[in-house]
Each structure stands twice: as structure tokens, then as C-alpha cells.
């Protein structure tokens, strides 16, 4: 994520946060395993204007491997809802990765994506589900589930599940239909009202892929 993108995103979030019933969030995570490190930055805000809920969300994941290779994934997302918990989402993803024909060079691809969302929450829990697909005609479907629970006033438990189905998800053969996904769990401690610190674990899996585990820490400001 370049400096202009960060500044523009922060300006948008601050502007929305100045409106009524805004709910901003900034979350930074650092992960590591035997292959390298992963930095995950999330910026967003949630604004309620009358019956309409609008969310602006940016997520940037930077992977740095010990062999010197790297990759970057940035997702820019707009959500508008909700009608009985349902809404619509539009995304633009910027993916930087080594070129298959020349791993020493990197290419950038932009992937527009859209779909539907569902959210529900109570006094001590929150649930969100997204179902999206690329607007490029790719035969893929992506499902994202987020759950959070606050069993104690200062303890937060969170779980994120990502599942991608269709062609192009199997390593080594993009023509085969398959599945890939990840499961992430957080345990956080609310050090202050708008500051949460914690530890987390993540595992990636998929068709013809060896499961990959990571562990990390996170800091979150906001809800």
C-alpha cells in the first residue's frame, strides 16, 4: 500500500467518522512462520445514516519470505445496507505477485468483485457473512465468515473463515476446480476502551496444498 493510498484512505475514514454514529477501526497484525512474515493492516469505518449503513474498508497484506520473495494483496471495499441485515458490497483488489514465467519479476492485477453481505449482532456477539464473485467472469465464489464474542468485559474472541471455490484455486493447475481457504482465530484483551491487544493463529489449506500455519500478534484501535 503506497503513501498516497494510506493518506487518501485515512482522509476518507476521518471524514466519515465525523458524521453521526460513525464507528472507525484501525487494526495492525504481524504474523510469522518458518517461511517468512506477514503484515496485515486494516482501515475502515462504519457509518449509520438513518436506515442506511455504509462501510468503507481497506485491507493490505504484505508477505515477506525468507528466500527474498514477496507478495502484496490490497482489498478496497464498499458495503451498503442494510435491509433486515442484508446489504451489497463492491470491491476492487490489487494483487502484486511474481510472474509465473519469470519469478524474479512482479506483476500487478486489478480484480473487481461484488456480492451480498449479511450482518447480525447482539450485546456480546457479532456475526458477518459475505458471498462474492469476481466481475471478470472467473468461475469462482468466495465466502467470508466473521464471528466475535465477548465472554468477559475485557476479553474478545474472534474467528474468521475464508473459503474460495472454483477454477484457478488449485496450485499448479488453474484448470482444475477445487477449494482453498483459511481459518484465523484471535484472543484479545481490551487494555483500554478503544485499544485491544492480542495473539492469533491462522492456517491455510486447499486442494493439493500442504496446510500452512502462522502465529502472530495484533493491535486494534476502535471497536
Report d(CA 64, CA 100) in Å as an integer: 18
**Cβ within 8 Å of residue 15, ≥6 positions away:** none
- Give me the pLDDT at residue 203, please: 96
Report d(CA 117, CA 216) in Å as an integer: 28
- Give me the pLDDT at residue 122, please: 93
- Give me the pLDDT at residue 128, please: 94
List pLDDT tens digits, range 143-173.
999 999 999 989 999 999 999 998 877 765 6
pTM across the whole model:
0.84
- Give me the pLDDT at residue 115, please: 95
Report d(CA 12, CA 55) in Å as an integer: 11
Pick the CATH number of 3-222 from 1.10.150.120, 3.30.565.10, 2.40.160.40, 1.20.1260.10: 2.40.160.40
pLDDT along the chain (223 residues), means of 10: 44 46 77 88 80 82 86 86 87 82 79 93 94 87 96 94 87 78 96 91 91 93 75
Please report, to the nearest 10 degrees, the dihedral formed by the alpha carbons of residues 214, 222, 10, 60 taken in order.
Answer: 10
- Give me the pLDDT at residue 22, please: 57
DSSP-based three-state secondary structure for 142: strand
Extents of the domains making up the chain? 3-222
**Cβ within 8 Å of residue 124, ≥6 positions away:** 149, 150, 151
Amino acid at each position: 500500500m503506497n503513501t498516497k493510498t494510506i493518506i487518501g484512505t485515512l482522509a476518507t475514514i476521518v471524514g466519515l467518522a465525523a458524521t453521526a454514529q460513525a464507528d472507525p477501526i484501525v487494526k495492525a497484525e504481524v504474523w510469522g512462520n518458518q517461511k517468512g512474515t506477514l503484515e496485515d493492516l486494516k482501515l475502515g469505518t462504519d457509518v449509520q445514516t438513518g436506515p442506511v449503513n455504509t462501510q468503507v474498508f481497506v485491507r493490505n497484506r504484505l508477505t515477506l519470505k525468507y528466500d527474498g520473495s514477496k507478495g502484496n494483496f490490497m482489498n478496497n471495499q464498499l458495503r451498503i445496507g442494510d435491509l433486515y441485515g442484508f446489504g451489497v458490497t463492491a470491491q476492487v483488489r490489487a494483487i502484486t505477485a511474481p510472474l509465473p514465467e519469470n519469478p524474479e519479476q512482479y506483476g500487478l492485477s486489478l480484480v473487481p468483485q461484488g456480492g451480498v453481505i449479511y450482518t447480525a449482532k447482539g450485546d456480546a456477539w457479532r456475526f458477518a457473512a459475505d458471498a462474492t464473485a469476481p466481475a471478470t467472469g472467473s468461475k469462482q465464489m468466495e465466502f467470508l465468515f466473521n464471528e466475535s464474542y465477548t465472554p468477559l468485559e475485557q476479553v474478545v474472541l474472534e474467528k474468521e473463515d475464508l473459503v474460495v471455490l472454483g477454477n484457478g484455486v488449485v496450485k499448479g493447475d488453474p484448470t482444475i476446480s477445487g477449494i482453498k481457504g483459511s481459518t484465523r482465530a484471535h484472543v484479545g484483551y481490551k487494555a483500554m476502551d478503544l485499544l485491544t491487544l492480542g495473539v492469533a493463529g491462522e492456517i491455510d489449506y486447499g486442494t493439493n496444498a500442504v496446510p500452512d500455519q502462522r502465529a502472530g500478534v495484533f493491535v486494534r484501535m476502535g471497536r
